Amino acid sequence: MRTMTGAIRQPDLKLNLPSGWTEHANPGGPLEYRPKQDGSTGLLQVSRISDNQFGFISGHEKLGPFAAEMGSRMTGWGKPLGNRDAPCSMGRLGMAIFGGGEYPGMILWLSVSDHSAYMWTWLGPDPKSEEVAQALQVVVAATERVAPVSENDREFLDSLAAMSLAKSFIAQGKSPEQFYLAMLVDDDGKPSGRERPVLSARFEHQSNKPDSVSFRCRFEEAPQSEVTIRLTLNGELESAYTVDRSSKKETELGDKPKIGVVVEREGGGILQAARLRIASLWSLTGQRIDLPYAPARFEAAVLGVRLTKTGIPASFSNPGSGTWVLLKTVTPDELYLAFDLEHGKLEFFPKTPLVPNDAAMALYRSL
């Protein structure tokens, strides 16, 4: 049977499969589950949608019509016969049913959590079979796996929190709800109404100690290649201050420790798609795509820990309310690095979009 087209990103989900259902090997394709081993009664497939598209998809008030539009543009899916929205264990669910396609029973679901979006498809011989109802229950009940936060992770996060600008800000009597970081603004300096473009990756822990943590990352543009990002507490100090977005008034926060950030990988060659993404984010026009690889080394300030990330307006806020850590490099130049230990997500993005600098070039050379 046919599989979904496009870049395949394997999800990490908890599924409650009905009795008799099995996972079927599908090399290079989405995860596949079958009620019968031979697939004669249909099959269910699922893949994670690119993080770069998450904001666009999650921004739809209704997912059902969007699922119908997606399927209608896919080869062999026929025409949508109906769609609807519903809640699911992950968050929101959109469903569209198709007729006149390659198989009598063709259904497309989109499930969206606070962190990710997933595409599910059912392909089978009978749209009213018991297996279709079972597939729906699998989709509705699916949840994301969350990485356990180890004691070393907590100690590392506590160390970052202690040196963060957010802690100093709150110590001055300000409420955490008033604290916004890295807000994306438009040309007039107002909060932007668009999603922030980023260079995103998913990661697993490689090692973690109270004074350092390493991630094995796979960037969205190069999911087959592994990159190591290492963060280390180094104790060096940097003068810190905040700037009010409206008045531009600076508030001194004293000297704050910096951390070291290293981006490196093994193997030859370059990650061309990732480099093109960096070039578009920082407007690195005219740069050779084949520049030799070189590991990147940054020093960074900790802006906030356990932050809540919002999509529109794009910002990080309210320390203590979420799962994100936000860093800003200070050498060789400025860029933002945000990561979420629990959900294994990481993002690089410019301080000012489309403005090239040495930090962007260092990141470019490391991929």
Mean pLDDT of 4-26: 78
322-347 tens-digit pLDDT: 999 999 999 999 999 999 988 889 99
> What's the N-to-C CA distance of the chain in angstroms?
36
Per residue in 185-224, pLDDT (tens digit) is: 888 888 888 888 999 999 987 777 778 899 999 998 888 8
pLDDT of residue 237: 56
Q: Is the peptide bond before 210 cis (omega within 30 degrees of 0)?
A: no
- Tell me the per-residue pLDDT of 39-89, one tens digit each, with 9 for 90 and over: 999 999 999 998 888 888 988 999 999 999 999 999 999 999 999 999 999
Report whether 296 contacts 264 (CB < 8 A). Answer: yes
Q: Are 67 and 118 in contact (CB under 8 A)?
A: no
- The pLDDT of residue 245 is above 90: no
User: Tell me, what's the pLDDT at 4?
Assistant: 36
Question: Radius of gyration over alpha carbons of the chain, in Å?
Answer: 22
Question: Is the pLDDT reported for residue 5 higher than 50?
Answer: no
What is the average per-residue pLDDT within 90-98?
A: 96
Residue among 94, 127, 88 at smallest CA distance from 109 = 94
Q: How many angstroms separate the CA atoms of 365 and 290, rounded?
A: 9
Predicted TM-score of the model (pTM):
0.81
Question: What gap in Å lies between CA 219 and CA 202, rounded to an integer?
Answer: 6
Q: In the prediction, which pLDDT does 282 show? A: 97
Sign of the alpha-carbon dihedral angle for 251, 254, 255, 258 = negative
**Closest C-alpha among 79, 91, 209, 89 to residue 157:** 209
Residue 27 has pLDDT above 90, yes or no: no
In the predicted structure, residue 35 carries a pLDDT above the cut 90 = yes
pLDDT tens string 132-181: 999 999 999 999 887 777 888 888 889 899 888 888 777 777 777 777 88
Q: Phi and psi of 360, rounded to 5°?
A: -65, -40
- Give the pLDDT band (50/70/90) at residue 12: confident
| Whole-number pLDDT of residue 29 | 86
Region at 30 (left for phi over 0; alpha for psi -120 to 50; beta for the rest): beta
Name the token pair of 62: 């209704």
Helix and strand numbers, DSSP H then E, in the chain: 7, 19
- Write the burial class of residue 39 (CB in 10 Å: 0-12 exposed, 13-18 middle, 19+ buried): middle
- pLDDT, residue 250, reads 57
Band of pLDDT at residue 6, cut at 50, 70 and 90: very low
Q: Please, which residues bridge with residue 235 across strands?
A: none
What CATH code would you report for 13-144? 3.40.1000
Burial of 333 (C-beta count, 10 Å sphere; 0-12/13-18/19+): middle
Tell me the percentage of the chain whose pLDDT exceeds 70. 91
* Per-residue model confidence (pLDDT) at position 170: 77
Nearest in space to 85 (alpha carbons), one of 140, 48, 133, 30: 140
Q: State yes or no: cis peptide before 80, omega within 30 of 0.
A: no
CA dist., res. 39 & res. 122, Å (int): 11
**pLDDT score, position 94:** 97
pLDDT for 17 beyond 80:
yes
Closest Cα to residue 302, out of 150, 169, 178?
A: 169
Q: What angle do CA 9, 10, 14 make, to 5 degrees?
A: 140
What average pLDDT does the chain have?
A: 88
Comparing CA positions, the residue from 77, 107, 103, 81 lying closest to residue 95 is 107
For the chain, give every residue range classified as CATH 3.40.1000.
13-144
